Amino acid sequence: METAATLTIDGRQIAAHPGETVLQTALRHGISIPHLCTHPNLPAFGACRLCIVEIDGVRGYPASCSTPATEGMVVRTDTSTLQNLRRAVLELILAEHPAACLVCDKRELCEKYRPKPLKAGRTIGCHTCNNKQVCEVRDLSESIGLASIPYVPFYRQLPVERSDPFIDRDLNLCILCGRCVRICEAHHGQSTIAFVGRGSQTRIGEAFGRSLTEAGCRFCGSCIDVCPTGSLSDRYAKWYGAPEQSTATTCMLCDAGCALTVNTSADNRAAMARAIDTHVPICVLGRFAIPEFLNGVARLKVPQVRVGKALRALPWSQALAQAAERLKPFVGDGFALVCDRTCTLEDRYVLRKFTREVMQSPHYLEIEPDERGVSRTSLPEGVRAALLTGDFVDPERLQALDLLIVQDCYPTPVGERAAISLPVTVLAEVAGTWVDGQQRLRPLQTACGAPGAAKPDWQIICELARAMEAAGFEYASPAAIATEMGANGASLGIGRSQAPPAASDPSRRRTHFRGHCLEEKVRGLRDLRQAVEEALARRDPARRAASVAEAVATAAAIGG
C-alpha cells in the first residue's frame, strides 16, 4: 500500500495523496505548473514537456505529470531555466500551429473590436479559430509569456475534414498531445483514432485511411471535449464561442439518465451539451442531438385551433378556453389522455390528476417507450375524445374521435388531425424531476429559452384545468408539484460507473423521442446511419443487398 508523502515544492511543505504525481499534488495545492497533454481523466503521457520541473538529485528536467511524488522530494517549478525551457518547448509546438495572433503586437486592440472569431472555413490564426475564447494553448502562451516564434512556421495544408457526422477535424491545428487517442481508448477500450505515420509525418488518423464512421467511431464527443486546440470541434456548436450560460441537467433521450451540461448562446438557444462526468462517455444522442432537436425551424411555437380545414394561431387564453369548452361534454370515460415517460414526473402527475379529477376518466395511459424509444398504444373502446402528448396512436383510430387535442413540440400526422394543437417545451427547456431506468430520481433544469410561446406540459394542463374551473391546479412551479408528490431528493447522475449502453453499442441507441423520429430532426444521425451502411456495403459487396434491405426495413420501421 502506498503511503502519503510529504514533499517540498518551491519551498512549501506539501502533503501528497498516495499514488499522486508531482503535477497532481502541485495543482491540488494551487501551484500552477504549465501543462498541455495531461488531463485529469487520463493516465500520464509526457508528450508536451511543458510540465517539466527541477528535482534535487534528479538529472535533467523531468516531466512532473509522470513523476510520482515521493517522500522528501524537493521540487522547483518556476526557475528562470525552466521558464526559458518551457518557452522553447511552446515555440516548437507552435511552429506547426497557426500562431501569428499569439505574437501580434496589436492583439489587445484587435480583440477589443473583435472578441469573437470569424467563422472561417480554415483556421489560420486565433481570429478564425472556433476555439478562440476557450483555448488552452492561448492561455498557456499568455502565462508562459510567448513573445515570438523563432522558427519559420510550417503549415501542412491538410484538408479540413468535414465529411463525418458531427465532428469537424482540422489537423493543421493539432499539436499531437494525444489526449484524443488516449480518451478514446480509456472510454471505449480500443481507440478508433491513433497516431498515424512517423516522425514529422505523424498525425492523428484512423487506420487504413478510413473515415471516423468507417472506423467505428461512436461519436461520443469525448475527443472534442479534451482537445486543447480547435483541431477537433463540434460542427453545430463550434462558432458559438464561450457559452453565455451553462446549466446542469439530465439527458432524457433514453433512460440512462446521464448528467449533462447544456451551454447556451447569446440568444438563449441551446448550443452544445456535454457530459458532466467525464470519466465515462455519453452516447451520440446526449452529446450531439439535443441542440439541433431543440432548434429545428419546424418547432411548434404558437397555440392553434382548427377552423374549417386549417389550423389558426390564437393566444393561449383563447386556445385553452376553446379546449375547455370542447372537453366539457366528454367528462367521463369517453375521454382518454395518453402520454409517455418522456414527460417529467411533475408533468405526469398533473396529467393524471387532470384525467382523474377534472375529466373524471379512468383512462390515463402512460406509455413506457420500448428500447428504441418508440411509444405506441391503442385507445380503449368507447373513447370519443383524447388528449395526446405525442404521436402515439394509430391515425385510423383517431379518425373515429369527436375531439382530439395534441400538445407536442413538432408537427406530426396526429397533430395534423387535431382540433387543437398546443406547443410544448422539451428536453433542456424544461425543469422538474425525472426517473431513470434504475428508478433513481434525476433533476432537470431549464437551460435555454422556449421557442415562441411554447410552454411546459404541466403548465398547459394546469391552465387548462383552471379554464375548466377546476381547483387544485394552482402550482407556481414544478417544485410545488414535486412537493405535493413527495418526490424530492433528485440528484444529478454523476459518478456513474458505467457508460450508457448506447455509448458503445449503436444497436442500443434509441431512434425515437416522444413519438418523434430523431433522425428526421437531427441530420447528423441520418448521415451517420447512411455512412455506416455505405461503409459496410463497401467492405463487403455481398452484404450490399442485405444492408439495402435492412435500410429499407429500418426506414419503414422509423417512418411508422
Partner 1 sequence: MPEQAPEDRVNNFDEVPYGYTEELAVTEATRCIMCKKAKCKPACPVNVDIPGFLALIRERKFLEAARKIKEDNALPAVCGRVCPQEEQCEKTCVTGIKHEPVAIGRLERFAADYERRSGAVTLPQLPAKTGKRVAVVGAGPAGLTVAGDLILKGHEITVFEALQEPGGVLMYGIPEFRLPKEIVRAEVDYLKQLGVQFVMDYVVGRNSTIRELFDEDGYHAVFIGTGAGLPSFMEVPGENLIGVYSANEYLTRANLMKAYLFPEYDTPPISRRRVAVIGGGNVAMDSARTALRLGGDVTIVYRRAREQMPARIEEVHHAEQEGVDFKLLTAPTRVIGDARHRVVAMECIQMVLGEPDSSGRRRPVPVKGSEFIMEIDTVIVAIGNKPNPLVPRTTPELNVSKWGTVITDPKTMATSITGVFAGGDIVSGAATVILAMGQGRIAARSIDAYVRGEPLPQETLPKEK
Partner 2 sequence: MFEILDKREIAPNIHKAVIHAPAVAKKARPGQFVILMVDERAERVPFTLCDWDRDAGTITLVVQEVGQSTRKFVLLNTGDSIAHVVGPLGVPLEIERFGTVALAGGCYGIGATLCTARAMKAAGNRVLTVIEADSHYLHYFRDELQAASDELIQTTIDGSEGIKGHSVDVIKQKLEAGETIDRVIAVGCVFMMMLAGNVTKPFGVKTLVALNPIMLDGTGMCGACRVTVGNETKFACVDGPFFDAHEVDWDELWDRRAAYSDEEIHAVARTEIIDHHRPAAARARLA
Segment near partner 1 (CB under 8 A); pick from 151-159, 225-233, 311-319, 545-553: 311-319
Stretch that binds partner 2, among 43-51, 137-145, 264-272, 345-353 (CB under 8 A): 264-272
Q: Does 297 bind partner 1 (CB under 8 A)?
A: yes
Residue closer to partner 2 (CB basis): 120 or 558 = 120
When binding is defined by CB under 8 A, the residue of 120, 160, 171, 314 that contacts partner 1 is: 314
Residue 266 or 494 with smaller CB distance to partner 1: 266
Residue 131's binding partner among partner 2, partner 1, none (Cβ under 5 to 8 angstroms by kind) is none
Contact 218, 504 (CB under 8 A): yes
Residue in 492, 313, 346, 329 with CA at minimum distance from that of residue 402: 329
Site string for partner 2, 216-235 (x = CB under 8 A): -------------------x
Please report, for residues 387, 393, 416, 502, 559, the alpha-carbon distance to residue 413 in angstroms, rounded to integers and kept in the order given.
Answer: 15, 10, 5, 29, 11
- Whole-number minimum distance, CB 312 to partner 1, in Å? 5
Closest-CA residue to 390 (of 369, 371, 372): 369
Q: Which of 81, 155, 550, 555 binds partner 2 (CB under 8 A)?
A: 155
Give the interface size with partner 1 as a residue count (CB under 8 A). 6
Q: 408-437: which residues touch partner 2 (CB under 8 A)?
A: none
Give me the least distance between CB of 304 and partner 1, in Å please.
9
Burial 342-351, CB ≥16 within 10 A → b, else e: bbbbbbbbbb
Nearer to partner 2, 87 or 179 (CB): 87
Q: Judged by CB under 8 A, does residue 310 bind partner 1?
A: yes
Cα three-residue angle 114-120-123, rounded to 5 degrees: 90
Q: Residues 188 to 207: which contact partner 2 by CB under 8 A? A: none
Binding-residue total with partner 2 (CB under 8 A): 53
CA distance linking residue 229 with residue 134, whole number of Å = 9
Is there binding between residue 105 and partner 2 (CB under 8 A)? Answer: yes
* Number of alpha carbons in the 13 Å side-chain half-sphere of residue 78: 10
**Cβ-based nearer residue to partner 2, 15 or 242:** 242
3-class SS string, 399-465: HCCCEEEEEECCCCHHHHHCCEEEEECCHHHCCEEEECCCCCEEEECCCCCCCCCCECHHHHHHHHH
Helices (runs of H) and strands (runs of E) counted in the chain: 18, 22
> How far apart are the C-alpha atoms of 128 and 492, rounded to whole Å?
36
Among 28, 29, 122, 328, binds partner 2 (CB under 8 A): 122
Minimum separation from the CB atom of position 219 to partner 1 (A): 24
The reply to whether 530 sits near partner 2 by the rule CB under 8 A is yes
**DSSP letter string over 493-527?**
--S-SS--HHHH-GGG---EETTEEHHHH-HHHHH
With beta carbons less than 8 A apart as the criterion, state whether 130 and 117 touch.
yes
Applying CB under 8 A, does 245 fall inside the site for partner 2? no
Q: Is 312 in the site for partner 1 (CB under 8 A)?
A: yes
What gap in Å lies between CA 109 and CA 101, rounded to an integer?
A: 12
Among 30, 60, 121, 189, binds partner 2 (CB under 8 A): 121
Residue 313 interacting entry, from partner 1, partner 2, none, C-beta within 5 to 8 Å by type: partner 1
For partner 2, the binding residue among 164, 206, 255, 347 (CB under 8 A) is 164
Q: Does 558 engage in binding with partner 2 (CB under 8 A)?
A: no
113 near partner 1, rule: CB under 8 A: no
Spatial neighbors of 434 by CB under 8 A, at least 6 apart, are 250, 252, 257, 344, 345, 441, 442, 443, 444, 490
- Rounded to whole angstroms, what are the CA distances from 86 to 14, 44, 61, 69, 154? 24, 18, 11, 21, 20
Asked if 361 contacts 336 with a C-beta cutoff of 8 angstroms, the reply is yes
CB of 311 to partner 1, least distance (A): 9
Point out which span in 95-103, 222-230, 337-345, 542-550 binds partner 2 (CB under 8 A): 95-103
Considering the complex, what minimum distance in angstroms separates the CB of residue 313 from partner 1? 6
CA 489 to chain centroid: 24
277 touches, from partner 1, partner 2, none (C-beta below 5 to 8 Å by class): none
Are 310 and 361 in contact by the 8 Å Cβ rule? The answer is: no
What is the Cα–Cα distance from 467 to 463, expressed in whole angstroms? 6
List the grid coordinates of 185.
481508448
Within positions 290 to 319, which residues make up the interface with partner 2, using CB under 8 A?
A: 292, 295
Q: Is 152 in the site for partner 2 (CB under 8 A)?
A: yes
| 303 neighbors 316 (Cβ within 8 angstroms) | yes
Residue 460 touches partner 2, criterion: CB under 8 A: no
Q: Which is nearer to partner 2, 164 or 429 (CB)?
A: 164
Torsion from C-alpha of 110, 112, 117, 118, nearest 10 degrees: -60
Using rule CB under 8 A, residue 106 touches partner 2: yes
Three-class SS state of 369: coil
Q: Please, are residues 450 and 269 in contact by the beta-carbon 8 Å criterion?
A: no
Residue 534 touching partner 2 (CB under 8 A): yes
Binding site residues, partner 2, CB under 8 A:
98-101, 103-106, 109-110, 113-114, 116, 118-122, 124-125, 128, 148-149, 152-155, 157, 159, 161-165, 172, 211, 235-240, 265-267, 269, 292, 295, 523-524, 527, 530, 534
Binding site residues, partner 1, CB under 8 A:
297, 307, 310, 312-314
